[in-house]
Amino acid sequence: MNDYLKDIAIIERIMAGDKTAHRDLVRCHKNFAFTIAYRILNNRQEAEEVAQDAFMQAFAALKDFNKTAKFKTWFYRIVFNAALMAKRRQKPTESMTESHVLAFSIEDTPQNLQRQERSNQIQEALAKLSADDATMITLFYLKEFSLEEMTEITAISSETIKVKLHRARKRLAETLRLQLGAEVKNLY
């Protein structure tokens, strides 16, 4: 069963009064909802609150949800808007980048460690991008949304999204270059 049909089946269970269906819907979407919020807010606690608020809003509006539409684009739009609103309310000190802790284990091979290090560098660089840029990259790469779906979520035209996405990736590349340059300097 594809994601769309799976979502619709869960929604129908919720509407029929199935108590366990809410949990199933949360399980399907909590990670990505949290990731979108986290990319925008750069604060885990706030991102969790925003993701939870978005779920609450979605549950309350579920009876009005048009089942011919995709739940994920409808829901992630709620998350995106909620995170942007929270970002506006956020005090400057709260948006400070949280450090990513590298977890080493015995099973870590040099390749895995290298990959992990690269991933951390990108996470750090992403945190330095604007909320808009980080969201574009998150939507495009992490869930592999199409430009049309991204248009539905962000309410920005697909042409503008394309431009924003290109610009975001360029900025990310520049940030990474600067980051790596600083790391090399620190070595000497």
Partner 1 sequence: MESLTDTEIFDLLDGMASEELNQRHQELWRTDERYRQYFDELHTLHQSLRGLSIESPSVGFENTLLHRLEISQREYKLLAISKRTLFLFVGLMMGLMLIGLLLLHDGQSAANHLFVPALENTITYVGLEDIQKVLFLINGLLLLLVCEKLIKKYLELHWRQL
- Pick from 10, 11, 40, 47 the residue near partner 1 by CB under 8 A: 47
- 139 binding partner 1? (CB under 8 A): no
- 176 binding partner 1? (CB under 8 A): yes
> Whole-number minimum distance, CB 68 to partner 1, in Å?
26
- 56 binding partner 1? (CB under 8 A): yes
- 14 binding partner 1? (CB under 8 A): no
- Pick from 9, 18, 23, 159 the residue near partner 1 by CB under 8 A: 23
**CB nearer to partner 1: pick between 19 and 68:** 19
> Whole-number minimum distance, CB 137 to partner 1, in Å?
6
- 34 binding partner 1? (CB under 8 A): yes
Instruction: Report the 3 state secondary structure along the chain.
Output: CCHHHHHHHHHHHHHCCCCCHHHHHHHHHHHHHHHHHHHHHCCHHHHHHHHHHHHHHHHHHHHHCCCCCCHHHHHHHHHHHHHHHHHHHCCHHHHCCCCCCCCCCCCCCHHHHHHHHHHHHHHHHHHHCCHHHHHHHHHHHHCCCCHHHHHHHHCCCHHHHHHHHHHHHHHHHHHHHHHHHHHHHHHC
